[in-house]
Amino acid sequence: MTDKEPPSTGLPVPPGRGWRRRRVAIVVVAAWALVAYLVAPLVWELMLRGRPDIAQAQHLTATSDGHPGDPVNVALLGTEADVVKAMQAAGWSPADPITLATSLRIAADSVLRRPDPDAPVSSLFLFGRRQDLAFEQPVGDSPRQRHHVRFWRWDHVVDGRAVWFGAATYDERVGLSYTTGQVTHHIAADVDAERDRIERELARAGCIGGLRWIDGFHGQREGRNGGGDLWRTDGRLVVLTLTTCRPGA
């Protein structure tokens, strides 16, 4: 006696449980891949873009040949126009770009002890590029001594505002570099004094809408720049939010 096949009903045969499980597994794996490799990285990028951490920014500038430069000690929040207006209101002049003419001029002014409030400053690098802005205040009748600061715009914004990191130092004399033997300005070691000077003068000009300090911005509290000059700091970074300047406010 032989087994007989069941009679056909003419209806489609439903898939088995094995196929349903495989289909669920495929959907789960596809959903995981979408979230892990597309959605999650995008969310993290947006979060980091919206909440950059100033304290984690680069702390030291560099010379053109990659040696350590001057330490970053101030940050301004505002547009480029805000920075220029505020620094000028506080008594700082934009530095001229380095050209053959300006280089010869500052050399002659240093020798002849003539004022040069717009004398050029050498290039330092932060975030892989030379400074975007530079300002100075002359001291006496010669560009041998001057207060000066370089600013670099950060690639991120904080609270919807551009961030400008600055390295402020005081040129106390002209001499030969301790590392290369080239003619250069030598800076004073107390870079905090220049940081505090900028904060004080911007406040006096009524250009500060907000102020905060980041303690421990510098883990290294002293070092030497590319010219071999010693610098020292308490490690703090001052962050100043700029506003429309109101002298005497």
Say if residue 65 is in the same domain as residue 150.
Answer: yes
Higher-confidence residue: 138 or 90?
90
Between 40 and 109, residue with greater pLDDT: 40
Residues 165 and 47 occupy one common structural domain: no
Same domain flag for 174 and 61: yes
Helix (H, G, I), strand (E, B) or coil at 209: strand
Distances (CA, A) of 201 to 69, 72, 86, 247, 248: 25, 18, 10, 10, 11
Q: For residue range 80-127, what is the model confidence (pLDDT) as tens digits?
A: 999 999 999 999 999 866 544 444 444 444 444 544 455 667 899 999
Please check whether residues 114 and 39 belong to one and the same domain: no
Domain that holds residue 207: 55-242
Q: Total domain count for the chain?
A: 2
pLDDT, one tens digit per residue, over 45-92 is: 554 455 578 888 899 999 988 889 999 999 999 999 999 999 999 999
Nearest to 232 by CA among 195, 192, 173: 192
Both 78 and 26 in one domain: the answer is no
Where is 142: in which H helix or E strand?
strand 142-158
Report if residue 3 sits inside a domain.
no
Same domain, 97 and 203: yes
In a domain, 81, yes or no: yes
Average of pLDDT values for 9-28?
68
